[in-house]
Amino acid sequence: MRRAVVRALPAALLAAALLGAWELYVDVSGVATYLLPAPHGVLAAMWENGGLIWRNFSVTAEEVVLGLGLALLGGSALAVAIHLFPVLRRAVYPLAVGSQAVPIPVIGVLLVFWWGFGILPKLVVIALICFFPVVVTTVDGLAAVDPDQLKLLRTLDASRWQAFRFAELPAALPAALSGARIALAVGVIGAFIAETTTPTSGPYPGLGREIISDVNLQTPRAYAGTVVLFLFAIACFYTLSLAERRLAPWTRRERGETH
């Protein structure tokens, strides 16, 4: 417990210093609230609009978690397929790279035309934005397996599937999890893009859409929503780090290894 406090201290101090500087700047410069609200104003807006922000946040959080899940499933499946069938790499990789350059608004309307005003088109947008880092890191991780380990499995008469199961898959896991963390970082902004490009029918459009509609007239509320997204991204990132420690404990210990 005490160690956890000590470890969190630098981040807390830095955040406090930045908040102080922000508060001081707003106070001294007299910048208008609709341009930059002071931290205490943002906090007040968060307090007053707690219910609204929470309901919109639930919508966004669901989108991020499910969209990321879709990206992880699709991305790692594609990576495994590319690894097992090199011809797929030549066929799919250029398209996957190119897909990252497609501005989402171009296809947003099309996705709504296909799947309606529900959550599905938003999940697809998030997954499209997130799957790429997962594919790249997993493909590289699978290819980086020690060839001598594969030779060892061959001399033990392992099948192709067993070589994959006992050597390639665990060898790729740390890289795939790094990809997942990158995907998560872009996933939150992906939810924002999804909400602003595909219209929704629900009563709460999600935090991203809420922020956009607040930004001119209800600036402190827009900032309050942003702070919630900010904290959400941090929480997700460390949850994934924790998962990595559980799923691939050998990577942490090997870094401290002496021989």
Footprint on this chain of other proteins (rule: CB under 8 A): 146, 148-149, 151-159, 162, 166-167, 170, 173, 248, 250, 253-254, 257, 259
Q: How far is the CB of 237 from other proteins (least distance, A)?
A: 24
Instruction: Judge contact between 190 and 121, C-beta under 8 A.
Output: no
Q: How far is the CB of 150 from other proteins (least distance, A)?
A: 10
Q: How far is the CB of 178 from other proteins (least distance, A)?
A: 16
Name which of 161 and 216 has its Cβ closer to other proteins. Answer: 161
Q: How far is the CB of 102 from other proteins (least distance, A)?
A: 38
Q: How far is the CB of 62 from other proteins (least distance, A)?
A: 33
Name which of 68 and 163 has its Cβ closer to other proteins. Answer: 163
d(CA 130, CA 76): 12
Name which of 149 and 213 has its Cβ closer to other proteins. Answer: 149
Name which of 113 and 250 has its Cβ closer to other proteins. Answer: 250
Name which of 61 and 175 has its Cβ closer to other proteins. Answer: 175
Instruction: Judge contact between 94 and 105, C-beta under 8 A.
Output: no
Q: How far is the CB of 141 from other proteins (least distance, A)?
A: 13
Name which of 90 and 165 has its Cβ closer to other proteins. Answer: 165
